[in-house]
Structure 1
Amino acid sequence: MSKSEQPIEYGPLGPGHAPAKDPMKGLRGVMAGTMMMESISFYLVLTVILRVDGGAYWTTFNWVYVTAVATAMLLLSFMQRFSWAVKANIGIQVFALLGFFVHVSMGIMAIIFIAVWWYLFYLRKNLIERMKRGLLTTQHM
């Protein structure tokens, strides 16, 4: 029997009902806040590329790229309620990681935020699984 065919193992109180409060709404708020902090951090890369090595990294491509990625993150932070936002969050991390070509500091910051996003997606998966099994307190009130 494959994993998808196995019956769901419910908690001791059974499957329960839909949660009284949407737990995904809170998680989306955390994701929006994380994307906003990431956007601010990437806007600060502009000061790094302007000041480091006497502005040697301040090229038109570099500042436009950093500004475009940070602005996309800023706009995406307000779009977390949509179903496509999860895929967009992953996609924007690819562009952030490509920031290594702009300046190493942008790439290092991208790696740090990729680790944060990995953890958020782990929490999201865990929350969805707990909801399926009826393990949330608000499913039994």
Structure 2
Amino acid sequence: MTEDQTPPAPAKDPMKGFRGVQAGTLIIEAIVVGLALPVVATLGSGITSAQGWTVIAIAVLLVLLSGLLRKPWAIWVILALHGGLLAFVVALPAVAIIGVVFLGVWLWLMWLRRDVATRMAQGRLPSQQNQQSDQHSQR
């Protein structure tokens, strides 16, 4: 392949599958955050307090964001929600730990996404390799 040619697009969009992984991660995270409500009720000010409503709101927003991952701003909202979880570090360290763990997961996912995008731009994805060999054999 010469430098002026762009690599062929993969047969299947890898980013579509990657958004599925992200959506699944958001659902799992929402479940884990929801399971923190008994911790808020026991160690915090109760579920009916501002702490409780904040944890509930974050869990609901995580579920809603799982359907909005196509939007470019969705990742920034997800990271902001992790900031909300980290804000519990003084009042409820157990909830902040959830934020730290899933923030690490999301940073790893963003690194993977960048790697897939780079490989796709360079034409190094396995699905692109098959297309390139088909194009060369047709010549």
Determine if contact 1:39/1:71 at 8 Å carries over to the other structure: yes
TM-score after normalising by structure 1: 0.81
Contact 2:89 2:96 in 1 (8 A): yes
Which segments of 5 or more consecutive residues in structure 2 lack a partner in the other structure?
132-139
Q: Distance in 1 between matches of 2:51 and 2:71?
A: 30
Identity %: 34
Aligned partner of 2:134 in structure 1 is none
1:13-59 per-residue CA deviation (whole Å, 9 max, x = no partner) reads x742111100001111111111111111111111112234xxx5315
Structure 1: distance between partners of 2:32 and 2:20: 18
Q: Which residue of 2 aligns with 1:94?
A: 83
Q: What residue number does 2:14 align with?
A: 23
Report how many residues are paired: 127
TM, length-normalised to structure 2: 0.82
CA RMSD of aligned residues (A): 2.0
Indicate if the aligned counterparts of 1:57 and 1:102 stay in contact, CA closer than 8 A: no
| Larger RCO (alpha carbons 8 Å, 6+ apart) | 1
Residue in structure 2 matched with residue 62 of structure 1 by the alignment: 51
- 1:42-82 Cα offsets, whole Å, 9 max, x none, are 11111112234xxx531511111111111111111121122
Provide the C-alpha distance between the structure 1 equivalents of 2:120 and 2:21, rounded to a whole number of angstroms.
18
Change in CA separation of 1:107 and 1:122 when aligned onto 2, cut-off 3 Å: same
